[in-house]
Structures are given as C-alpha cells and as structure tokens.
Structure 1
Amino acid sequence: MASLPYADVDFSLRALSSRAEGFGRFSIGGLHGPLYFVTTLADDGPGSLREGCRKQEPLWIVFEVSGTIHLSSYLSVSSYKTIDGRGQRVKLTGKGLRLKECEHIIVCNLEFQGGRGHDVDGIQIKPNSRHIWIDRCSLRDYDDGLIDITRQSTDITISRCYFAQHDKTMLIGADPSHVGDRCIRVTIHHCFFDGTRQRQPRLRFGKVHLYNNYTRNWGIYAVCASVESQIYSQCNIYEAGNKKKTFEYYTEKAADREEAKSGFIRSEGDLFLNGAQPCTLTGFSQECMFHPSEFYPHWTMEAASDSLKTILQILTGWQSIHRPEEQAQAVTV
C-alpha cells in the first residue's frame, strides 16, 4: 500500500515545524512562540483567529472550538505563525487568508469554502512572502483562485491538500508584466485535484516541482506552462474525463523581452489514464529544465500507481485527527 510522507508529525504538536518537503522546507511557522488558543468563531476580537494572526510575535495558533468562521475581509497573517487546525474542524468562508510580505507561515488542517467577491482567493500569497507551507487543507468554491502565489513570493510547499468544485484552481505568477516572478519556486505534492476545471497549476516565469499528485476530470487542461516557466511533473496521476489534454502551453511576452515565449513541462514517471494526452512540447531541450535535486537533496516519492491514487483520495485535505500534546503556556488574550 502507498504511504504519505511525514506521517510521524502528529505525535508531537511542534514536530510539524520544518518537516515540509521541497521549496518550503525551511518554514518553521510559530515554532519559537507560545501557544495561542482560538476560543471563539467570531471574525475579530479577543480569542479570535484574526486577533492571533495580527500579533507580531511568533505564535503557534490552535483551536478550542469547531465550526465556521465567516470572514468579512481578508485575514492577514503576520510572520512566524502556525495556524494548526488539528483536533477541531474549522471552516473559513466569506473571504480567505492573505499572506502579504511575511515569512515562515504554516497553515495546517483547515477548510476553505465559499469565498465571495472580486479577487477573493482561498489563500492569497503576495507580495514578497517566503518560507510558506500549506498542508492538509481542503479548498473549494471561491470566486477567484483557491491558492494564488504571485508578486515575487517564493519557497513555498503545498502538500496533501484537497481541491474541488472550482474553476481557476491555482495561479502561480501574476501576469507577463511581473518579471520579478522569475524568482518563484513552489513544490506541490501528494495533493488531490478532484474535478477542478483548470490551473492545477498555471505557472508563469517560475519553477514548480509536481510529484505524487492525483488530478482527475479537469475541464480544460490539468497543468499549464506559460511565459518562461518550468514545470517538473514527476510520478503524478492524470486521469482524464471528457477533456483529454493534460498539458497546455500559453505563449506570452515578458515585459522586458522582445520575443513571446511559452513555458516548459517535463513529464517523468507520470501515469496517464482514461485517454489523458501528455501533449509534450516539440523542440523542447531538457537542458532548459531545472531539476529539483539542484535545490533540495531528497523528497518522499513513489511510482504513480492505483494504490497511490486510492490513498490520495482518503488522506488529503482536512483530517479528523487529534491535536498532539504541548507543554507550552498559552498567551493571555
């Protein structure tokens, strides 16, 4: 049977810190801060999630309540925070999280559903944010993206998340005018894209490593590479529905270049099911493509298989798991 990485982190609360794989592996979240207990589902005020996220000191945020938090505006998260939903079932709706000019953020075991309004994403990472890890979250039904990573935000890992009931799932790289997005580096692994229509992800400029993800029944394409981007697709499962094109290439012109260019996708060990068509780019030189080993020494990966597909349908997204024990004192709110 297939297995998932870092299965041991739930034995101790802060064992989660620094256990990300890939580009976001250095994220420590609120490792060196006290516990902050969310004791209310209110949008703001004492004991609220918003109150904890705005505090400037490192915090490990945990929940004493389950239920839905309706956000009337984006919830901005300051640096060195862990938002740890283990032990409860907490859903964010109305708006989403905004990670703006921050670093060392871990978001684990939350649900995001029903975000409304122009430019409303489930998790919006921009600008200039880094060392981010989004783990075991369920995201669906937002008016814009589920996760957007733009404006020179980098060193990010998205892992074991579940995506459903959505159109433009994940945009990485804002538009061809933002040439600073060449610095973007993102790892996406062990995620389940369940019938989302497109952008699993769509990338401009940056580098993305995809491995051991399961994407099925997309509506336009599974993965898109645009202007100068590099996507390393490794041991993923792509199962087509009515639309068979797995990889798409859009040609755009960077603001500081004369010639319009597409991006590149390298597929290695991927499993294509139900007539899924890889649509590899002709004339592509492998010398243009980065290799993950240039940036991190190891990652937990196995061959794409039926057993991997089965376990990704069960163990992605929000999980009903206990919150591990912790001896630290809570902050006063």
Structure 2
Amino acid sequence: METTLPYAGADSCLRALAGVAEGFGRSAVGGANGPLHHVTSLSDDGPGSLREACRKKEPLWIVFEISGTIHLSSYLNVSSNKTIDGRGQRIKLTGKGLRLKECENIIICNLEFEGGRGDDVDGIQIKPNSKHIWIDRCSLRDYDDGLIDITRQSTDITVSRCYFSGHDKTMLIGADPTHIDDRCIRVTIHHCFFDGTRQRHPRLRFGKVHLYNNYTRNWGVYAICASVEAQIYSQCNIYEAGEKKKAFEFYVEKAADKEEARSGLIISEGDLLLNGAQPCPLKEAIGEHMFHPTEFYPNWTMEPASDSLKHILHTCTGWQSVSRPAEQVINCS
C-alpha cells in the first residue's frame, strides 16, 4: 500500500507551507504576512544572522542563503509571526537552542538541532504562554535536557515529520504538578520517528495530546507516559520494542490544587505493537473524560499502522534535501 504524505502540496511554492499544518497547530501561519528575509551569515549574532532576524518585531518569512552550523552561545529567542524555513539549505543549530517565549504564529521547518549543552538547555523550548506553533521536518539529537519541551500554558502546537535520536528525555509536555494552568495545553504529534531515544515520546502532564502515525522503536524506559490528569490519544502508531517492552507508562502525581494523587489516561486505537511491545492496559477511569480529536478538528491525514508506513518514516522524517520553493507575488495556498 502506498503511504500518503500529509500536506503534500506544501512545497509547491514558498508560502504554501502557511496554514496547512494538521492538528492543534493548524492555525500557525508564521510570517506569511511579512516580507522575505534572507539569512546570509552563520554568525551567532550581527548583520545577516538568524538571531538578528528572529528578534525583529514584524512578521518575516526567514530563508537561508548559506548552509552550515550556527553555534548559539545563548538561547535564540523567536518573536511572534516568524517562519524559519530551512528548505533549500542545510542549517544545523548547536550549543543552545530556540526559545519560543510569549509568542504566537511560529513555523519552524527543515532544520537540524544537535549538541546543546548546559542546564535546562532544550533544542526547542516553548514556554510560557506561546501558541499557534508548527515544528516540521526537523532533526533533533543530543541535548543536555529535552529535545522539545512544551510547558507553562503553551498550547495549540503541532510537531510533524521530525526525527529524534541520540537522546534520553526526548519530549516533556507539562512542566510539573504545581503548574496546574498547564491544563490548557493541546499538542498534536504525527508522522515522527523516535529512533532509540530512551523515554518521553512524550511524557505529558495535565494537557491533551493526539499522537498518530508515529514510529517509536527501541526505547530505554517507556514509549509514552501519562502523568497527572494527562489525556493521550494514541492512534495508528507503531511501537517496536527493543529490550524494554513497556510501551505505555502511567506515573502518579498530585496536582497542587487536588487532594488525591492520580495518573493520566491513554487510549490506544489501531496501534501496531512489534517485538513484544506490551499493549496499553485498561485503566479504571470512572468520572474521567478522555477527549477525542474530532472535538477540536474535523480531519487529519492518517492511515493504518503498517510496514509501509514504518519504511517511509525512515526517509521522510527529519531534515530533508529539498529545494527551496519559488516565491510568488500572489500568495499561494
């Protein structure tokens, strides 16, 4: 069976990427309403640098005229209404990562993140109060903290077609049991490949996460984890165990405004379990509500979990050697 790629027309012209995200981040248009901005320097800061572009307040569609590594000496803060579009070049960020703080309308596409060092250093850190974000076709590995962390009331986010490897605590969503306002968090993760990362694919507290058509293999602790009040809808994913067989984990924690500790909920629907991966246990959930994605968006590009899906996720995730689409005077969609 031929696998259908999501948003197949996104590379037809440069700004066709805007507004075609699936899931909770579907409203992200990035810098679609701003001019094209060209990054011409691999320097950490200064004229022509990515940092200079990201601090500008106006909407920008940021593209690169060079390939290479940008070593970040500190987090690179991204302001609202920005598209960081790596198509057509090969850009790697190292040293530190991107920080999306109190911003909205962000698209990050076709970048590599590797070798972030320091306490609390994530590849992409989303906090606080950020929303309408789409992270697409990025490769992330080897940071001292998380690869993507989404916390402190950040919401309406989609992570798609990303490749995660060489890491321990991969993706944390929801900060800790004291941050009860993280109940607003909503994240979609689809068509991603978690390749031998140990845990947190993701680990969720409080919020809602829709996982579909992802491939997670050879984890070291668990595949996905529902902590306090989490709701995870796992749909048509592939879980291929290595030595550790527990795919679905539940951690009990006490929310700061509750008297009793509890874990979260996971629904596993149409998931493919390989190499002895254990199925999701049925948990007693009297009086608890599990969301369904159709409560929030009507459709998404999904197919049954299968060998054909697994094989294509080997090649269509992470940074891609694709040409930069042409810019057109008339905005295309």
Indicate whether the TM-score tops 0.5. yes
- Give the TM-score, by structure 2 length: 0.97
Give the conservation status (yes or no) of the 8 Å contact 1:158–1:188. Answer: yes
1:255 aligns with 2:250: no
1:284 Cα deviation after fit: 3.4
1:316 Cα deviation after fit: 0.2
Q: For 1:9, give the aligned amino acid.
A: A
1:2 Cα deviation after fit: 1.1
Once residues 26 and 326 of structure 1 are traced to their aligned partners in structure 2, the CA distance between those partners, rounded to angstroms, is 21
Mind listing any 5+ residue stretches in structure 1 that lack a counterpart?
329-333
Q: Secondary structure at the match of 1:91?
A: strand
Give the conservation status (yes or no) of the 8 Å contact 1:102–1:129. Answer: yes
* Match of residue 28 from structure 1: 29
Q: Secondary structure at the match of 1:69?
A: strand
1:283 Cα deviation after fit: 1.6
Give the conservation status (yes or no) of the 8 Å contact 2:184–2:207. Answer: yes
Give the conservation status (yes or no) of the 8 Å contact 1:217–1:242. Answer: yes
Q: For 1:316, give the aligned amino acid.
A: T
Q: For 1:169, give the aligned amino acid.
A: T
* Match of residue 331 from structure 1: none
Once residues 87 and 285 of structure 1 are traced to their aligned partners in structure 2, the CA distance between those partners, rounded to angstroms, is 52
* Match of residue 323 from structure 2: 322
* Match of residue 150 from structure 1: 151
* Match of residue 67 from structure 2: 66
Once residues 45 and 283 of structure 2 are traced to their aligned partners in structure 1, the CA distance between those partners, rounded to angstroms, is 53
Q: Which runs of 4+ in 1 moved over 6 A?
A: none
- Write the deviation string for residues 73-105 of structure 1: whole angstroms up to 9, x where unpaired: 000000000000000000000000000000000
* Match of residue 125 from structure 2: 124
* Match of residue 161 from structure 1: 162
* Match of residue 81 from structure 2: 80
Give the conservation status (yes or no) of the 8 Å contact 2:14–2:328. Answer: no
Q: Secondary structure at the match of 2:115?
A: strand
* Match of residue 136 from structure 1: 137
Mind listing any 5+ residue stretches in structure 2 that lack a counterpart?
none
Q: Secondary structure at the match of 1:248?
A: strand
Q: Secondary structure at the match of 1:139?
A: strand
1:91 aligns with 2:92: yes
* Match of residue 306 from structure 1: 307
1:288 Cα deviation after fit: 1.8
* Match of residue 178 from structure 2: 177
Q: For 1:219, give the aligned amino acid.
A: G
Once residues 279 and 120 of structure 2 are traced to their aligned partners in structure 1, the CA distance between those partners, rounded to angstroms, is 31
* Match of residue 191 from structure 1: 192
Query: Structure 2 matches for 1:203-282, cutoff 5 A?
Result: 203-282=204-283
1:293 aligns with 2:289: no
Give the conservation status (yes or no) of the 8 Å contact 2:161–2:191. Answer: yes
Once residues 85 and 281 of structure 2 are traced to their aligned partners in structure 1, the CA distance between those partners, rounded to angstroms, is 39
Give the conservation status (yes or no) of the 8 Å contact 1:228–1:262. Answer: yes
Give the conservation status (yes or no) of the 8 Å contact 2:223–2:248. Answer: yes
1:279 Cα deviation after fit: 3.7
Once residues 9 and 279 of structure 1 are traced to their aligned partners in structure 2, the CA distance between those partners, rounded to angstroms, is 35
Q: For 1:314, give the aligned amino acid.
A: T
Q: For 2:9, give the aligned amino acid.
A: D
Q: For 2:63, give the aligned amino acid.
A: V
Q: Secondary structure at the match of 2:255?
A: coil
Q: For 1:249, give the aligned amino acid.
A: F
Q: Secondary structure at the match of 1:9?
A: helix
Give the conservation status (yes or no) of the 8 Å contact 2:128–2:154. Answer: yes
Give the conservation status (yes or no) of the 8 Å contact 2:265–2:283. Answer: no
Once residues 68 and 97 of structure 1 are traced to their aligned partners in structure 2, the CA distance between those partners, rounded to angstroms, is 14
Once residues 11 and 285 of structure 1 are traced to their aligned partners in structure 2, the CA distance between those partners, rounded to angstroms, is 48
1:285 Cα deviation after fit: 5.3
Superposed CA RMSD in Å reads 0.9
Q: For 1:231, give the aligned amino acid.
A: I
Give the conservation status (yes or no) of the 8 Å contact 1:206–1:228. Answer: yes
Once residues 203 and 11 of structure 1 are traced to their aligned partners in structure 2, the CA distance between those partners, rounded to angstroms, is 35
- Write the deviation string for residues 49-70 of structure 1: whole angstroms up to 9, x where unpaired: 0000000000000000000000
Q: Secondary structure at the match of 1:309?
A: helix
Q: For 1:14, give the aligned amino acid.
A: R
- Write the deviation string for residues 30-61 of structure 1: whole angstroms up to 9, x where unpaired: 00000110001000001000000000000000
Give the conservation status (yes or no) of the 8 Å contact 1:104–1:131. Answer: yes
Q: For 2:189, give the aligned amino acid.
A: I
* Equivalenced residues, count: 328
Give the conservation status (yes or no) of the 8 Å contact 1:3–1:311. Answer: no
Q: 1:158 to 1:285 in 2, by over 3 A?
A: farther
Q: For 1:66, give the aligned amino acid.
A: S
Give the conservation status (yes or no) of the 8 Å contact 2:268–2:280. Answer: no
1:25 Cα deviation after fit: 0.2
> Identical aligned pairs, as a percentage?
80
1:287 Cα deviation after fit: 6.0
Give the conservation status (yes or no) of the 8 Å contact 1:183–1:206. Answer: yes
- Write the deviation string for residues 133-189 of structure 1: whole angstroms up to 9, x where unpaired: 000000000000000000000000000000000000000000000000000000000
Q: Secondary structure at the match of 1:288?
A: coil
Q: For 1:164, give the aligned amino acid.
A: S
Q: For 2:160, give the aligned amino acid.
A: S
